[in-house]
Amino acid sequence: MLRSLTSAISGLQAFQQSMDVIGNNVANVNTTGFKGARMDLADSFSQTLRNASAGTGGNSGTPGMQIGLGVVVDAITNIFGQGALARTGVSTDLALTGPGFFVVRDAISNTTFVTRAGDFHVDEQNYLVTNSGMRVQGYSDAGLTTLGDIRIDTTGMPATSNPAPTKVSFAIGTDGKINVNLSDGTQFVRGQVLTQNFINPNGLMKEGNNLYSGIGAAGPLGGAANPTPAPPGSNGMGTIQAGALELSNVDLASEFTNLITTQRAYQANARVITTSDELLQELVNLKR
């Protein structure tokens, strides 16, 4: 068998995976907070036909001879660059400008995830949640001391002349603090949305619904054993923009360019297979 056949087959397999990555990027061009990915290739191992030798006083050295045996997928890397912001006017929509992730928790399994998608809303129990029901994490008390589920209600309100003021409205600041306005005209800080940052964001694993797991493996603030979120704007993290959402960071122009080059590379490898087959056919026909 010709080595070119196996090399070209590895090329077809690699560029098929590249098409899969590009296709997923394009499919999520309008997904809130989506981070695109790229695929890195590396040459496969080579067959050594002759080892290199050093020269001596009377002889010159000889270079080595190797024939490569194809290509392999070296890595599929997520690109965590900032996406564009879009104004929505919805008070519970939050966008991060700069590094960092929102921390959310599954109340049923008690599993913690992070996300860049800030399309939150307040549920019937006044918890700030994602579209899939995950509860946003941060300081859950008015004193900003207890980590837990963010709840936007009148708990912790200051003593006033009105014995039972009600919540009228609320606003979330760039530092994540939730300011609740009461019916008696007073205001208080109910809690604070905290964010998490990572030494190696590519250690995170996509879980669908804009969620990432693998927090410990990515090097979080507080360490892998005890990941501890921090206020937005601290520890090198970005700030929160309320009433806006971060869009996908996929660049369609780049993706279409990659689509064309990947298609041509796939066609070239297919042509190598066709040509190798013709060579084998000529070899077989020598007996006629």
All structural domains of the chain with their residue ranges: 3-50+64-80+251-287, 85-246
Mean pLDDT in each 10-residue stretch from start to end of the chain (288 residues)? Answer: 86 96 97 96 87 78 85 95 96 96 97 97 96 96 95 88 82 96 91 97 95 96 94 94 97 96 96 92 82
CB 160 within 8 A of CB 182: yes
pLDDT at 283 (0 to 100): 86
98: nearest Cα among 244, 197, 25: 197
pTM listed for this prediction = 0.88
pLDDT at 161 (0 to 100): 55
38: nearest Cα among 62, 19, 66: 19
pLDDT at 54 (0 to 100): 82
83: nearest Cα among 20, 134, 125, 29: 29
Would you give the DSSP letter of residue 131? T
Distance of alpha carbon 215 from alpha carbon 113, whole angstroms: 7
> What would the DSSP string read from start to end of 211-277?
EEE-TGGG-BTT-SSS---B-TTSTT--EEEETEEEPP---HHHHHHHHHHHHHHHHHHHHHHHHHH
CB 193 within 8 A of CB 150: yes
